[in-house]
A = this chain, B = another copy of it.
Amino acid sequence: MSTEKEVTIYDIARKLNISSATVSRALNDDPVVSKKTKQKIFDLAEQMGYRTNLFARNLRNNRTNTIGVIIPRINSFFMSSVISGMEKVANQSGYNLIISQSSESVEKEIKNVKTLYNSRVDGLLVSLAYDTIDTSHFDVFFKMRLPLIFFDRVVEHEHATNIIIDNRKKAYEATQHLIDQGCRRILHVTAIPRQTVYVERLAGYKQALADHNIKFKEDYVIINDLSHRAGIETAAIIQAMNTMPDAVFVSNDDCAIGCMIALKKAGIRIPDDIAFVGFNNDPISTIVEPNLTTIDYPGYEMGVVAANNLINHLHLNGVAPIHTTNTIIIRSELIIRASSLKRK
């Protein structure tokens, strides 16, 4: 075994006594090259173990066939499903994915944008960090007319497409479902309503209450980081209340389950004393007892749609500017399980 020198089109050209231009054309299947020559070139390339030097190509073409992805964190069921979907689509279309995590911090997100910009990705798929409000760090992309798609945690932007689910409607449905079960004191546990997702969910929750003549109470909204641990803490808060709620609608399954388990340990019956609805439809929602009612948030599909959309746009190459489609709403669904069924 020894390090082999890379084979170039020049090597092939020399051996066949033809010009490198012809080799290049042949390898790109240019119809202008005769079938005979093409075959010779293909065969020799194969035999010599030729592989395109993508830098040389990209340097000329000024395209990388690479898509940048920025997400808060990869290791949740939802996010890894999204990535899985994106990877599949990208791979099929000959694109590579460069994934970077913002770890929920704007600073890191800004750094990531810079890195990906310098890596000359052809476009960007982004789910915003927890505390991103100002999005001017993406301006470099808009300036260079590079397509950008936000998904899940999005922000309205004239030059970007958003891919989301109808958070308001689903939150409405979740709340209404609880009301239908006879609940009246419904708590909403969510993250700071800074990101649209949470604003919308809160709005849906409020609307459902209003539509059923239930008065909205400020202290029935609990704000935390939606972690499992936060769920446990929320359980303590609930137990300390004068009148306990009869239902809790949480913006994420992890947190919902943390809370549910803690309450169960304290002897509170789910759903009889307190009904629960989560959000995301993580696999854990079917493991916990009772199984958690939740909103199915199709991560894989979201990843597929986001990547497809970006790649389509890249192929149209500016023919259809990205702001023609502004928002894509993915189908999502309330899945009713035992944790919220008071009336069997």
Instruction: Report A's interface with B, CB cutoff 8 A.
Output: 1, 3-4, 6, 49, 51-56, 58-59, 62, 64, 73-77, 79-81, 83-84, 87-88, 91, 96-101, 112, 115, 117-120, 140, 142-145, 228, 257, 261, 283-284, 287-289, 300
Contacts and interface: CB of A to CB of B under 8 A. Distances in A.
A91 B56 CA distance: 25
Nearest to A96: B98
Contacts of A284: 283-284, 287
Given A59-B59, A80-B83, 12 more contacts: A3-B144, A6-B62, A52-B118, A53-B59, A54-B118, A55-B64, A73-B84, A75-B77, A88-B101, A96-B98, A96-B115, A288-B288
Contacts of A74: 74, 80, 83-84, 87
A29 B87 CA distance: 37
Nearest to A98: B96
9 contacts: A1-B143, A4-B144, A6-B62, A49-B140, A55-B64, A74-B80, A74-B84, A228-B283, A261-B287
Question: Which of A64, A74, A261 has the most CB atoms of chain B within a 10 A radius of its CB?
Answer: A74
B101 A87 contact: yes
A23 to B, nearest CB: 17
A338 B237 CA distance: 27
A228 B143 CA distance: 48
Nearest to A82: B75
Nearest to A65: B119
Contacts of A79: 80
B99 A97 contact: yes
A287 B257 contact: yes
Contact of A143 (B4, B51, B99): B4
Nearest to A94: B115
Contacts of A84: 73-75, 101
B53 A142 contact: no
